[in-house]
Structures are given as structure tokens and as C-alpha cells.
Amino acid sequence: MDLPVIPAPATLTVSDETFTLTATSGVTTPPELAGPVARFVEAVAADTGLVLTGSSGITVELAAVDGVPPSTGLRADGGQTDERYGVEVSAGGVRVWGATPEGVHRGLTSLRQLISAQLHDGTAVLPATRFVDGPRFAWRGLSLDVVRTFHAPDEVRRIIDMLDLYKLNVLHLHLTDDQGWRVEVPSRPALTEVGAAGALGDRPGGYYTQQELADLVAYAADRYITVVPEIDMPGHTAAVFKAYPHLAPAEPQTVDLGNGDKLNLGTLDPARDETWSFVADVLDAVIPQFPGSAYVHIGGDETWGMSDEDHAAFVEKASGLVRERGKRVVGWQEIARAKLDPNDLVQYWLDLDIDNMPDNPDAPTPPAELLPVLVEALRKAKYDAPKALEQGAKLIVSPVTWLYFDRPHADASTDPAQEVARARLGLKFYGAASLEHGVTWDPADVVAPDQIAGVEAAIWCETITNSDDLELLLLPRIPGLAEKAWSQQTTTIWPEYAARLAQHSPAWRNRGWTWLQSTEVDWK
């Protein structure tokens, strides 16, 4: 029997007995686990409508977990917390244990999934089972673009809840880009007064106040998720130049992309003192707003029109400023063209080989003036990962081919309204991807496991106009991301996975989440 748990547990045994869980059931727990247990009870109610009012049936405790190797890679909080857990269901009740409160939380998350899948008329008949589990990789995340479309705090909390349900532990917030600036810097008020005013095209802008970010960071931390800030530089800085024109190049250039957006060819200049005063002010304001993150993401990608020498100079100085403030550096793969510290992380995304790309008849033709810029960038990209590894840095695996969730959905939907949305959502350039495609790969196919810091998907919002659009592209892809980032099972068999995935729709429906109702899955 395959339990409807995603990611798939490392070890699993099932017997013929059952345990019946009802509203009169409850949780017995030591005081030090009161927080995770309270959130479990709250989450079960949100997932299923079942409110656990009793005090027995489920026993939760701290205990050693054997039989599963510890995770590899690096955590975004800089720690070494053990997330391994065990769940045992017998006729007499349920036992959940972990070496740490975080491990217990992960175990309770699996129990949530079981309850949701087995619940009928207020009663969940759980099969007797025992499984012990732990993550393969320590960093398991999602990069969320809140710039091209601004997503308000309530929507970000919904995304945090999705990550939590699938044991993902990093939310990488892409806070700045050409289209807007989304984080307060009190010493630079024009960043939010002017730079945050818009988004892509005519979409409304916005930004997170310090209190809103503090609340989001705390909400995530309660679910053992670290929020990592990204300040994208030295490129993707048109919003900065709009707010502070004196930081802009003397003659900034743009290329019209024909979709309401334009490519900006100007970058921050590493030779100017005012550039570094600005970067220092931003870091001094942003870093304290993310106290749980050991890392600051400095972007470093797509520095159109910037010389390799200037780019390397910028990355090296910006990285030094981050380290001086007690944080570690993470950046997109292009930062590997500069000198790195072995503690830096490089986010590998460009796995496209310009000289061997498959023909995609649906891909738009780039503007003539942009094509040589793109070709040059893609040709350089193939050397980034080797350069990073040569310098001792580890990679966050985020390849476009597998983990860019702004790709169109290839699967048709059973909902006609979703078919209309599916036709416009996702960047055609990448080609459409099926849900099966999303789980038929392994991060170790990209780079050796001991060189992987973690696995992270990305969602960009060029085609996303609202929260329904966002969620339609994220679900059901997030569970597939988790399957690849967490599960010790390196091969995923699509029919078996689809059967597990089908049983997760009741929780999504109860939560009010939007998901692609793929015709390839027999949804419960």
C-alpha cells in the first residue's frame, strides 16, 4: 500500500489494523512541544474542518530517530537542526516523534496529510503503519517574485502554508527588480515612495512595511521556514534609478520586449562612491528585517551591457559588505564569474545550452537588438557552475528545465475556466511542462550530491496578474518540488506519485487554494 504522503517517506511498513480519529481525539505532549502541537491542531482544522478537542489518541515526544541518514547540504538559517521524524499508527493510537521540535513538526505534517486523505464524515480511519523519514537536502525552497506583480502579505502567508504542508523550509523573497522595490529602507525613502509605485505594465505596486515583514518572518519561523531576502544588483535596478536618478548611467538604454515590459541595459556602477553608500544603506536596513536568515541574496544575474570586469568588481565588493555585516552570500549563478568565498552559495538556474536548444515553435522571437545580448549571456552561462565548484562554493539547484514554475502547464484541466487561464499563463519561451515531467528527474543528475546545498524552485510573474494565477502555476507543482528536494527515493514512478497526489485535493479545496485540475490525475 502506498500512503498518500508527499514527499515519499524513507521507510514504510503497513499492517491490517486501523485507528479511528475523531473530534474527541487529541494530543498528549510535553510542554516543550506545545507550539508545534498547537499549530498542528490549527492546521488539521484548516485542512479538513476536523477540530481535535480531546486530550488523547496522538502521543508526541522527543526521541532519537534511527534508520535514516542526516540531510546533506546547507540550511538557510545557518544551523544543523535534525529534521528526521517517525510516525507509528496502531490500533491503540498514533505516536509521532523527532529528535528536535522541528523534526516533530515535520512528522505532524505527514500525519496531517494522512488525516486529510482518510477523513469521511468527521472520522479519519488511519491504516496501521510505521514510517521513519528525513530530508535528503537541507535547503528546500521557493523563490517568489513579488516585484512584477506585488503579492500582499495575506497571499504570501498562503504560499508559506503551501510550503509548510510539503516540508519545504525556505521562502526566498525576490524583493527588488526593474519593475519595483518592495522593502523599506528608512534612509532611502524614495525607494518606497517612488520605486514601489508600480509593477509590470499597469499593475498596482506596493511594498511591505517593516511590521508586515516582521509578521511574515515570524509566521514562517513558526512553521520552521526561513525567509531569505534578495536585493537584486547591480542589474535589475530600474526602480532604483527611478527613485534616485543620480545612481543611473548617464545614458540608460532599454529594449522593448513587446509584452508590456522592457529590458533595461543599465546597471549600478562599481566605480562610483555613491553606489556603495547606497548598497551599504540598503544592507543596513534590510538585514535586520530577516534575523533568521544566515544569507543575503545579492542577485548578480543578467547584468546586460556591463563589462565582465565591472560585474566581477561589483559582486566582490557587495559580497564583502554582506560578510562584514555577519551574513553569508548567495547569488544567481553569474556571481561565479567573480572571486567567491567557499561559504558562498551559487544558485544554478541557466541549464539551457544555446547551441543545442530544442526547437520550440511556440517561443516568441526576441527583438533583433536583444538577440545577440541573449546569445552572449547563454554562452557564458555554461561555465558558471564549474567556476563556482572550482572555488569551493556549493550550488542551489534551480534549473529552468525542471524548477521554473513560470513555465506553461502542459496538462489540460478538467475546468474550462482554467483552460482559458492556462492559455495565457507561463512564458512560452520555455515550452510547456507536464506534472509528470516535474518529478521524472533527480537533482543529482544536475550536479554531484556532495556539491548541492539544496534545491529551490522559482516563480516569476511576467504572466501572473493575481493570486489565482500565482497559485494555478504553483499547484500541483510544489508537491513535486518537495518530492525531489526531500525524499530519499531518487526515482519517482509517475502512476504511483499521481495516486498519492490525487488524495491531496481535499485539503487544497478546504483551504481555498487554486490548483490546476489536471486531466492526468484522478483527483479525490
The per-residue pLDDT of the chain, averaged, comes to: 95
How many of the other CB atoms lie within 10 Å of CB of 51?
11
Count Cα atoms within 13 angstroms, Cβ side, for 126.
27
Above 80 in pLDDT, residue 136? Answer: yes
Count Cα atoms within 13 angstroms, Cβ side, for 227.
26
Q: Are 253 and 305 in contact (CB under 8 A)?
A: yes
Whole-structure pTM value = 0.96
Q: Residue 256's pLDDT band (boundaries 50, 70, 90)?
A: confident
CA distance 222 to 10: 25
Q: What stretch of H or E contains 356?
A: none
Above 70 in pLDDT, residue 358? Answer: no
In the chain, domain spans: 11-133, 139-511
Residue 356 has what pLDDT? 63
CA distance 369 to 308: 20
Above 70 in pLDDT, residue 365? Answer: no
The CATH number of the domain covering residues in 11-133: 3.30.379.10
> pLDDT tens digits, residue range 150-204?
999 999 999 999 999 999 999 999 999 999 999 999 999 999 999 999 999 999 9
End-to-end CA distance of the chain: 17
Q: Are 80 and 99 in contact (CB under 8 A)?
A: no
Q: Region 104-108: what's the mean pLDDT?
A: 98
Residue 375 has what pLDDT? 76
DSSP H helices in 363-444: 371-381, 384-390, 400-403, 416-424
Q: Are 298 and 265 in contact (CB under 8 A)?
A: no
Catalytic positions are: 302
**Cell output for 440:** 521524472
Above 80 in pLDDT, residue 374? Answer: no
> pLDDT tens digits, residue range 437-476?
999 999 999 999 999 999 999 999 999 999 999 999 999 9
DSSP code for 408: P
Above 80 in pLDDT, residue 367? Answer: no
Residue 146 has what pLDDT? 98
3-class DSSP assignment, residue 239: helix
The CATH number of the domain covering residues in 139-511: 3.20.20.80
Residue 187 has what pLDDT? 98
Residue 257 has what pLDDT? 72
Percent of the chain as helix, strand, coil, to the nearest 5: 35, 20, 40
